[in-house]
Amino acid sequence: MKTIQLGSTSLEVSRIAYGCMGLGGSWERTVPVSEETKREAVQAIRTALDQGINFFDHADIYRWGKSEEAFAAIWSEVPKLREKIMVQSKCGIVMPGARPGSTVGQFDFSYEYITRSVEGSLKRLQTNYLDVLLLHRPDPLVEPEEVARAFDVLHASGKVRYFGVSNHTAGQLRLLKKHLQQPLVANQLELSLLHLHLFDEGVVFNQEAMHGEGTLEYCRQHQITIQAWGPLKSGAVITGEEDPPSPAAQNVAHLIAELAQAKGVSAEAIALAWLLRHPAKIQPITGTTKPERIRAACEADQVELTRDEWYRLFIAGRGNRMP
């Protein structure tokens, strides 16, 4: 698989990343990780590795930490693998009941929460360091100085090599960067043919009631890799079945199927190739645990869409012609 440079780092990462949220079994907190769950995780990870994926995305909340725990089973299966792959995790979301006083879901970018979360991830992943740590969702109560202190300590101790964010706007990035010593190397955002606001914003600015935040352009200007979560919109771009139903989903699925047949590849490959075609060098994150679907997604690495094909898909997703 082709690689891209992650942000301003020297890391050469696979163009497609593997999202590990599906690993670990049940979302029920009290259900432990079984041996069967670990075997399924190893099978999925091996498939991703066989396809050339070397970048694996986690979060401390995925399956209440069980995704990280299940992932750690790969170390005994593939010797010396840790030095060959990049492991990323995220922190900042506090699940209801996760700690005393947290009666509702909330976000926390305090020094204590960030550092404690990393310690937990390292323990569950059975590794000494994370290649990348992302702040998961913007905390309205963020104190950038606290984030900076946490990043400084984690970086100086060797526990985190690089830092980034998820679901942050350009303005939120600017606020953090003002206080940080380390560069922000990634911004993980929801992006697909059925969630294309990031692209559409620049098209409809001054046409509709949008503010023109310019997050896409800001990330490109400052060498912040955009990672696309939900690139298949939970399969809706393939099946055309969206809740609530939408003509755009059906049109996108129909056109993807047409292009997939013409090019002799999977539908997943067309949907991800649409993201890979963008000059921002977006890194889609595929999250399926089924080996056949992992292989289908990775076919995107070999697909080249023309400008006309890209725009046909864009217009189908927008549900409207270009202005």
Active site residues: 62
Return phi, psi of residue 49, to 5°: -60, -40
Kindly report the length of the chain. 323
Spatial neighbors of 112 by CB under 8 A, at least 6 apart, are none
> From the centroid of its chain, how far is CA 115?
21
> Can you tell me the distance from the alpha carbon of 233 to that of 39, in angstroms, rounded to the nearest whole number?
27
Spatial neighbors of 84 by CB under 8 A, at least 6 apart, are 54
> Can you tell me the distance from the alpha carbon of 134 to that of 169, in angstroms, rounded to the nearest whole number?
14
Structure tokens at 127: 């590794």
Whole-Å CA distances, 303 to 83, 182, 203, 234, 266: 29, 35, 25, 21, 10
Please give the DSSP secondary-structure letter assigned to residue 230: S
> Can you tell me the distance from the alpha carbon of 116 to that of 276, in angstroms, rounded to the nearest whole number?
35
The runs of H, that is alpha helices, within 31-141 are 35-50, 66-71, 74-77, 111-125
> Can you tell me the distance from the alpha carbon of 283 to that of 52, in angstroms, rounded to the nearest whole number?
14
